[in-house]
Amino acid sequence: MTTITGIPPLPDLPLPPPAARRPYVAINMVTSADGKTTWGPENIPPPGAGPTIGSAVDRAWMKTLRSGFDAIARGAGTVRRHPYYPGLPSTPSPAGTLATPPQFVVFTRTGELPLDSRAFRESPRPVLVVAGSLPYQQRQRLEKAGAIVWEFGQGADDDRLLAALSRLYQEAGVRRLLLEGGPHLNHQFLRLGAVDELFFTVAARLIGRSGSLSLVEGPDWLAHLRLELVSVYQHQSELFLRYKIHG
């Protein structure tokens, strides 16, 4: 276990190889010290709180971490709330292994996505939408906005996630997938045992408000999963934690 004081240096962050038939999957999230990942039910920061739960260092860290992955995935709830392409560092990181920008992948059952937003307009590659079974017109709307649509039928969520991971690996060449929430999509991936590591920042603030979401939200227990602390970085009063997930 590594404990380091200072800004987290990505070059010191070796990412493990992918599993046999799916990408290596890591989650990255930020929580307040009271474990909240959203600002209450409306998720609107109070006056003076700043734009995000984490600091500017955390925002820079998120970008740096992304540069080690070949796909960034988000749930539709997060994309509707933050409709932009996940930013990358302005200067290439020494640990960034990618010749092309990461593939942005959005998971949706309904296909209800903000197609005229920056998420779709500013993505350097067509956004890949992983969906269930969409009405024909909905699929057309997405494709007209430049998205690539993978439909996996009306089946169970679990089957869809596993099929999508396998297709990302085999067809799209995705070897490392960074899942950036939200909490409900995190829950599904974790419950399926499809997450290898968890990166999360504990921001030096309290939110307090009821109705906020935590890192993971869903109907089932995840108590069988065991977390092994791999590293802790500290920058001022903010902590950058990395856990390996077993089970």
Ligand X SMILES: NC(=O)c1ccc[n+]([C@@H]2O[C@H](COP(=O)([O-])OP(=O)(O)OC[C@H]3O[C@@H](n4cnc5c(N)ncnc54)[C@H](OP(=O)(O)O)[C@@H]3O)[C@@H](O)[C@H]2O)c1
Sign, CA dihedral 163-169-173-178, equals: positive
Residue with tokens 């009821």: 210
Residue in 4, 83, 148, 157 binding ligand X, rule: CB under 6 A: 157
Nearest approach, Cβ of 152 to ligand X (angstroms)?
8
- Whole-number Cα distances in Å, 43 to 64, 77, 130, 159, 212: 25, 12, 25, 30, 8
Rg (C-alpha) for the chain, rounded Å, is 17
Q: Is residue 75 a contact point for ligand X (CB under 6 A)?
A: yes
Of 219, 247, 243, 246, nearest to 29 (Cα)? Answer: 243
* Of residues 130 and 177, the one with the C-beta less far from ligand X: 130
Residue in 22, 66, 160, 176 binding ligand X, rule: CB under 6 A: 160
Question: 55 near 239, Cβ under 8 Å?
Answer: no
The answer to whether the peptide bond before residue 182 is cis (omega within 30 degrees of 0) is yes
Going by DSSP bridges, is the β-strand pair 238-246/197-202 parallel, antiparallel, or unpaired? antiparallel
Tokens of 187: 């829950």
Residue in 23, 68, 96, 181 binding ligand X, rule: CB under 6 A: 181
Residue in 59, 63, 81, 139 binding ligand X, rule: CB under 6 A: 81
- Whole-number Cα distances in Å, 234 to 3, 33, 95, 150, 178: 8, 14, 20, 40, 22
Q: Is residue 110 a contact point for ligand X (CB under 6 A)?
A: yes
Binding range to ligand X, per CB under 6 A, among 14-22, 30-38, 88-96, 227-235: 30-38
- Run of H or E including 91: none
* Of residues 93 and 201, the one with the C-beta less far from ligand X: 201
Q: Is residue 40 a contact point for ligand X (CB under 6 A)?
A: no
Binding range to ligand X, per CB under 6 A, among 86-94, 157-165, 166-174, 191-199: 157-165
Question: 135 near 128, Cβ under 8 Å?
Answer: no
* Of residues 37 and 67, the one with the C-beta less far from ligand X: 37
- Run of H or E including 229: strand 226-235
Q: Is residue 53 a contact point for ligand X (CB under 6 A)?
A: yes
* Of residues 5 and 137, the one with the C-beta less far from ligand X: 137
Residue in 67, 93, 103, 188 binding ligand X, rule: CB under 6 A: 188
Binding range to ligand X, per CB under 6 A, among 3-11, 92-100, 102-110, 232-240: 102-110
Residue in 58, 70, 180, 238 binding ligand X, rule: CB under 6 A: 180
Question: 24 near 17, Cβ under 8 Å?
Answer: yes
Which residues would be at the binding site for ligand X (CB under 6 A)?
29-30, 37-38, 43, 53, 74-78, 81-82, 107-110, 112, 130, 157, 160-161, 180-185, 188, 213, 217
